[in-house]
Amino acid sequence: MLATKTAADNLAQAAPVKGRSLWADARARFFRNRAAVSGLVVLIAVGLFAAIGPFIAPWNYEDIDWAVLGNVRDAGRPSLETGHWFGTDALGRDLFARTVQGTQISLMVGIVGALIAVGVGTLYGAVAGFFGGRLDNLMMRIVDVLMSIPYMFVLILLLVVFGRSMLMLFIGIGLVSWLDMARIARGQTLTLRGKEFVEAAQATGVRPFTIIMRHIVPNLLGVVIVYSTLLVPSMIIYESFISFLGLGVQEPLTSWGALINDGAAEMNNGLLWILGFPLFFFVITLFAFFFVGDGLRDALDPKDR
């Protein structure tokens, strides 16, 4: 009897077992994925390179080293002595400084463009899926019409007609980049609007848009986060392709696409470093985003819990 009482006292005094939230579980699953963690480390390193690079670069991205301009093949090679750590381009400009700036612009286009696309697409799809009926049909037909328009043709046409600028680049990319997210958000909202917590909110007289912002959108965060990590590299590829065609950012600004275009033009002259360094950062960043996106998808997938 005494032993039974002692055991009961010990159980009563024992610390309660703490549960783990869905987000904590997803975080643990993500960090067990070596490829995803490696991608995250690479993204952090690239971000630090873009943030710290301007402060440690010996040269400005606009400055021309007249000493190497006439003999770029020999004098413009990567060197610690001259301060051109990545070498110079064909015009004698420091490639390290220009790669830093290209990284900043490409990441800005990718991240800002993805945030805008995800924000607009999520709200648009959530509204269409929640209200349903004729409004849903009308909003989705608008999406279908916009998706039928040749995207790259419209973007190139805008840049040719209205001139090359960062603003026009954002407008052109943002015109249709939110369409896929709108379809995904609508499909998820059609499932969520029949849940008990949504019906309870409707029964208590909560306004529809309040339900969308407080109940629907927060439950879409898992899908939104995964899609945004996969959308960023797509944005970077679009911008790089446009810059590769010569329709992207204007000189003296640059991006990965513009740098790769310059390097490809100098391959026959033996100036391989002009192509190699920007291409390296471009490739590892894209792979890192894809690995992180796959890791988040696996971590947030309810089927794997």
Q: For position 38, what pLDDT does the model report?
A: 93
Average pLDDT over residues 202-222: 84
Phi, psi of 94, rounded to the nearest 5 degrees: -65, 125
Q: Is the pLDDT of residue 75 over 80?
A: no
Q: Comparing 193 with 124, which gets the higher pLDDT?
A: 124
Phi, psi of 93, rounded to the nearest 5 degrees: -90, 145
Name the domain count of the chain.
Answer: 1
Q: How far apart are CA 55 and CA 282, in angstroms?
A: 21
pLDDT in tens, 257-289: 888 888 888 888 777 888 889 999 999 998 998
Query: Is residue 14 a part of any domain in this protein?
Result: no
Length of the chain: 305
Q: Comparing 39 with 3, which gets the higher pLDDT?
A: 39
Q: For position 248, what pLDDT does the model report?
A: 73
Q: How far apart are CA 175 and CA 248, in angstroms?
A: 16
Domain span at 263: 45-300
Q: For position 2, what pLDDT does the model report?
A: 45
Q: How far apart are CA 196 and CA 261, in angstroms?
A: 55
Residue 279 is part of a domain; what is its CATH number? Answer: 1.10.3720.10
- The amino acid present at 299, given as its one-letter code, is A
Query: Is residue 20 a part of any domain in this protein?
Result: no
Query: Is residue 21 a part of any domain in this protein?
Result: no
Query: Is residue 162 a part of any domain in this protein?
Result: yes
